[in-house]
Structure 1
Amino acid sequence: MSAGSTDSPDGRMPAADAPTAPGALPRGVVVLLGTAGAVVTAAGIRSFAEIVGPVFLALVLTIAVSPLRRLLLRRGVKGWLAGLIALVVVNAFLLGVAAMLAFSVAELAGLLPTYQDKFAELVADARGWLAGLGVGQEQLEAVLQKFDLGKFFDILQGWLSGLLGIFSVLAFIVAVLFFMGIDAVDFPGRLRQAAQVKPDVIAALTGFTRGTTRYLIVSTVFGVIVAAFDVAVLYLLDIPLPWLWGLLALITNYIPNVGFFIGVIPPALLALLDQGWGALLWVIVLYSVINFIIQSIIQPKVVGDTVGLSTTLTFLSLVFWAWLLGPLGAVLAIPLSLLVKALLLDAAPSTHWLAGLIAGGPLPEQAPPAARAEPPPDEVAAEQAEQAGHVG
C-alpha cells in the first residue's frame, strides 16, 4: 500500500469516500424533493383540516384513555368490557367539555353588552390621561379607534367558537372514537406481529404513543390543578364567569409557550370592565404566581424530557399547527409534532442522529432495534389479559 493511499487498514474504502450507489440522487436533490413533498402534504392537510383535526383528536383521546384500559385488563376485566368502559369514559369527557364550553360561551355573549358603558368610560379616562401627557387630538382619535371592545371580544368569541366548532362535528368524532376503541382492543397484538418485520417503525410508533400518553396525563393533571386555583382566585375577586376562565386555563395548558397568556388576558380584561384597574392587576399577579410555581417549576420537572423537542422547535410547531389546523392545531401541537418526529426521524436508523439536534435535553442511550420494539412487561401482561378476555 502506498503512503498516499486513503484505504483503511482492512483494505476497505473509508465511508466518506465511498462511491454513491448507482442511480442514487444527489443529497441536494433529495432535500429539495423532500421539501416539495412536505409543502404539498401541508397544503393537502390544510385543505382537509376539518376532517384531519377531528380524526387526530379522536386518536389522541384513544391514546389518552389506553392506560385505563390496560389497568382494567390487569385487574382481570375482559377485553371487550375494558374497551367499552374506556370508550364510555372518553366520550363522557368529550361531551362534558363540549357542554361546558357551549354554555359558557352563551353566557359570555349575553354578558358583554352590559359593559359597553363601562368601556366608554375607560376610553374617556384614557383620552384625558393621554391629553394630559400632551398627545394631540388627532393622534388620540387615531389610537382610540383601534381599541374596540366589540372587536376584541369578537376575536375571543371567534377563538372559543373555533374550539366549539370542533364539537359541531361531535357525531363524527364519537363515531371515529367508537371504531378506534374497537380496534384498540386487538391493536397491541398487531403491533407485536408487525414488529417482527419492521422493528424500527413499530418502536417509533410505540415511542410516540408512550410520549403522548405521558404528556397528556401530566398536562391534564397540572391543567386541572391550575384551573382549580384560577377558579378559586376569580371567585375570591368576584370576577364573572369563573368556570369559563377555569376551563380556558385547562385547555390552554396544552398550548406550549403561549398558553398562559391566552388564558390570562380574557379574565383580566373582564376584571377591568367589571371592577377597574385594581382587579385587573390582582388577576394578572395571582395568575402569574400560580403559573410560575406550577407550570414553570413543578410541571417541567415532572414532564422531564418526554417531549424530546427543543423550546424553539416547540414554539415553531405551535405556530405551524395552529396555522394548519386552527385552534385545535394549537391544542394538539405537541402530539402532532411527536407523530411527525416518530414517522420521519425515529422510524429510520439513518435519521436517529437528527433527534439529538432537535431534542430539548440530553438523549438516553439508544437500545438495539429489537429491544426497543419489545413492549414492556406490563404491556405484555395486558395483551395476555386481552387474549384471555376474548377467550372468556
Structure 2
Amino acid sequence: MVVLLLAMSLDAPVTAKILASDREHRPALVSALATFAGKTRRYLLVSTVFGIICAAFDVAALALLGVPLPLLWGVLALITTYIPNIGFVLGLLPPAMLALLDGGVRQMLLVIAAYCAINVVFQSFILPKFLGDAVGLTTTMTLVSLIVWTFVLGPLGAVLAIPLSLLARAILIDSDPSARWAAALISGEPSARTTTSP
C-alpha cells in the first residue's frame, strides 16, 4: 500500500495535466473525478482530526484506569476511526480484553463505559454531521459500502470503504448527467430539478 501510494503521488501531476487536457471531450467525467479527489481529501482530513481527538481521550481514559499500553490502544483507536460504523467496536475489543486480564471484570466494564461515553459523543453525534457534509453519502450507503468492500477486499476493504465508494460514485454516477436520481439517493440530497418550458 505504501509503495502504491508513493507511485500514485509521483503520477499525480501528470494525471492532473491529462485530465485538464481532456476536459473538452469528457467534461462530466473530469468534473466527477475532481469532485472525488476533493471529497476524499475532506474525508481523510475530517476522519483524521476527529480520530486524533477521540484517540487522545481514549488514551487519557485508559491511563487513568491503569490499563497497560494506553498509547498503543490510542493508535488502534485512530486507525479504526477510518472504518465506518464498526470501527469503534474493533478498537474497543483489545483494550477491554487486556483490562479483563489485567484488572478483572470491573476494570473491563470501566474501559467499555469510558470508550462508549467518548466514542458515542464523537462518532454518533459530531463526526456524522461533518463526515456527511464532507463525503455526500447517506448513513445507509456508508454501511452498504462497508459490507461490500469488506466482502471484496477483506479487512483492507473496511478501511478503504468510503474512498472506494466515492471513486465508484464518481465513475458510474457523477460522470453521467442522466444519473442525477441515483446521486440524490446516495447522497440523501434532492437533485436540482430542471424546468422545461410548456
Question: TM-score, length-normalised on structure 2?
Answer: 0.90
Return the match for 1:338 from 146, 166, 173: 166
Compute the displacement of 1:365 (Å).
4.2
Mapped contact 2:174–2:180 kept (Cα < 8 A): yes
2:21 counterpart of 1:193:
yes
- Which amino acid in 1 is paired with 2:35? G
Mapped contact 2:183–2:191 kept (Cα < 8 A): no
CA distance in 2, matches of 1:305, 1:352: 18
Question: TM-score, length-normalised on structure 1?
Answer: 0.47
Return the match for 2:186 from 347, 352, 358: 358
Pairwise mapping of residues 243-258 of structure 1 onto structure 2 (< 5 A)?
243-258=71-86
Q: Alpha carbon RMSD of aligned pairs, Å? A: 1.9
CA distance in 1, matches of 2:154, 2:85: 17
Compute the displacement of 1:331 (Å).
0.5
- Residue aligning to 1:281: 109
2:46 counterpart of 1:238:
no
CA distance in 2, matches of 1:210, 1:366: 25
Compute the displacement of 1:269 (Å).
1.6
- Residue aligning to 1:321: 149
Pairwise mapping of residues 89-104 of structure 1 onto structure 2 (< 5 A)?
none
Pairwise mapping of residues 131-170 of structure 1 onto structure 2 (< 5 A)?
none
Q: The residue matched to 2:189 in structure 1 has which SS? A: coil
Q: The residue matched to 1:197 in structure 2 has which SS? A: coil
CA distance in 1, matches of 2:5, 2:140: 33
Return the match for 1:294 from 103, 109, 122: 122
Q: Residues 262, 366 of structure 1: CA spacing in aligned structure 2 closer, same or farther, 3 A cutoff?
A: farther
- Residue aligning to 2:136: 308
Q: Residues 185, 299 of structure 1: CA spacing in aligned structure 2 closer, same or farther, 3 A cutoff?
A: same
CA distance in 2, matches of 1:297, 1:313: 18
Mapped contact 2:92–2:112 kept (Cα < 8 A): yes
1:155-192 CA-partner distances (Å, limit 9, x unpaired): xxxxxxxxxxxxxxxxxx32x33432222234333322
Structure 2 residue ranges without an equivalent (≥5): none
CA distance in 1, matches of 2:84, 2:118: 16
- Residue aligning to 1:208: 36
CA distance in 1, matches of 2:72, 2:181: 44
CA distance in 1, matches of 2:78, 2:145: 20
Compute the displacement of 1:363 (Å).
4.4
CA distance in 1, matches of 2:130, 2:139: 16
CA distance in 1, matches of 2:50, 2:160: 17
Return the match for 2:95 from 245, 267, 291: 267
Which protein has the larger Cα radius of gyration, Structure 1 or Structure 2?
1
1:95-132 CA-partner distances (Å, limit 9, x unpaired): xxxxxxxxxxxxxxxxxxxxxxxxxxxxxxxxxxxxxx
1:13-71 CA-partner distances (Å, limit 9, x unpaired): xxxxxxxxxxxxxxxxxxxxxxxxxxxxxxxxxxxxxxxxx3xxxxxxxxxxxxxxxxx
Q: Residues 177, 292 of structure 1: CA spacing in aligned structure 2 closer, same or farther, 3 A cutoff?
A: closer
CA distance in 1, matches of 2:184, 2:191: 10
Q: The residue matched to 1:291 in structure 2 has which SS? A: helix
2:5 counterpart of 1:177:
yes
CA distance in 1, matches of 2:6, 2:94: 35
